[in-house]
Amino acid sequence: MGKQHKIKNLFGYKSVSNLDTSTEEAESFNKVVLEDDIIPTPIDFEPDFAKSLSPKKNKWHKKMFNTHGDIPFANDYPAKCICLLVILGADNKTYYGTGFMISPRCVITAGHCLHFGGAWALQIKVFPGADGEAIPYGGDISTKYVSTNNWTVFKKPEHDYGAIILPSDKLFNEVKGYLGFHEVLQKGPILLGGYPISENFKQITLQGVSKEISENYITYDLPTVRGNSGSPVYIMHSNQIFAVGVHTYGGDPNHAVRVTAKVIGNWKNWINDQQAIV
């Protein structure tokens, strides 16, 4: 096991309980324009493991998530809360991406994993903690999603996020956990966990330092590839883990939609009112 990093209080926060959840739109400090419609990662087959939703381990799945680089985590957390998404698009093609649980039934991901090509996905299979062909916590299928009108109608990239609403607590009863979330105000160490296309459905965690914190984005230089869309950008603070961004696209630098007061307000609404679309 590698040396454990001791991360000091390098971050500035706003109290979640006192956050402004106003629905008014804020102007972006750094407007990003996407030339092409972005979509989840396409694949030309449905993985064999995705045909069953029952938990399935393999002989190699022995606390393989305990160590990510030099940072050890206990009880497979937060990796078990990070989900492989197998997405059936409106075009009847299969795509995949990443999501993460923030409540027993709410899985956050990129908006373009839910609504792309002008339509909602037909269904999404959710596999928390998947590792190759091992699905230690099983899976579930959802056809209920929420996002923002600024993404689904206007395709504003700073609003490229949404949620999958699971039909029951089935996965939570296996995983027994989910990620907290915070608004981060200062640059500092970050981690990103997800399912890059190059790793054959294995979860990979990247470590780095945020490059810029702007009104709507966190930027960073990490080797993300297709499949990472919807990955949580998260931090360690006071021995706890908090999602602070949703990875939406790579480039120079990479971008995550930043968890802000407005985002937190939406997420809390989606947790509490699963029919809400904002």
Supply the CATH number for residue 76's domain: 2.40.10.120
**Cis preceding linkage at 78, omega within 30:** yes
pLDDT tier at 73, thresholds 50, 70, 90: low
Count: domains in the chain:
1
Q: Is residue 263 domain-resident?
A: yes
- Between 50-59, 129-138, 230-239, the lowest mean confidence (pLDDT) is in 50-59
What is the per-residue burial (b if ≥16 Cβ within 10 Å, else e) of 238-268?
A: eeebbbbbbbbbbeeebbbbbbbbbbbbbbb
Residue 28 has pLDDT above 80, yes or no: no
Q: What is d(CA 5, CA 210) in angstroms, rounded to the nearest whole number?
A: 17
**What would the mean pLDDT of 143-172 be, rounded to a whole number?**
96
- Between 125-129, 142-146, 235-239, 243-247, the lowest mean confidence (pLDDT) is in 235-239
Residue 187 has pLDDT above 80, yes or no: yes
Helix, strand, coil percent values for the chain (each to nearest 5): 15, 35, 50
Q: Is residue 239 domain-resident?
A: yes
Pairing of strands 123-128, 140-142: antiparallel
Q: According to the model, what pLDDT value does residue 237 have? A: 86
Q: Is residue 18 domain-resident?
A: no
- For 87-91, the CB contacts below 8 A with 24+ separation are 87/40, 87/113, 87/121, 87/123, 87/124, 87/125, 88/121, 88/122, 88/123, 88/124, 89/39, 89/40, 89/116, 89/117, 89/119, 89/121, 89/122, 90/117, 90/118, 90/119, 90/120, 90/121, 90/122, 91/117
Pairing of strands 204-213, 106-109: unpaired
Q: Is residue 10 domain-resident?
A: no
* Annotated catalytic residue 112: yes
For the record, the structure tokens of 151 come out as 């993404």
Q: According to the model, what pLDDT value does residue 204 have? A: 92
Q: Is residue 215 domain-resident?
A: yes
pLDDT tier at 97, thresholds 50, 70, 90: very high
Q: Is residue 28 domain-resident?
A: no
Q: According to the model, what pLDDT value does residue 75 have? A: 65
**What would the mean pLDDT of 129-148 be, rounded to a whole number?**
94
Task: Return the number of other C-beta atoms located less than 10 Å from residue 17's C-beta.
Answer: 5
Residue 158 has pLDDT above 90, yes or no: yes
Residue 127 has pLDDT above 50, yes or no: yes
Q: Which of 68, 103, 112, 147 is catalytic?
A: 112
**What would the mean pLDDT of 185-203 be, rounded to a whole number?**
93
* Annotated catalytic residue 229: yes
Q: Is residue 23 domain-resident?
A: no
Q: According to the model, what pLDDT value does residue 133 have? A: 82
- Parent domain of 76: 34-272
pLDDT above 70 covers a percentage of the chain that reads 78
What predicted TM-score, i.e. pTM, was given to this entire model?
0.83
Nearest Cα neighbor of 115 from 150, 166, 158 is 150
Q: Is residue 249 domain-resident?
A: yes
- Between 19-28, 231-240, 248-257, 269-278, the lowest mean confidence (pLDDT) is in 19-28
Instruction: Say if CB 172 and CB 104 are below 8 A apart.
Output: yes
Q: Which of 68, 229, 237, 247 is catalytic?
A: 229
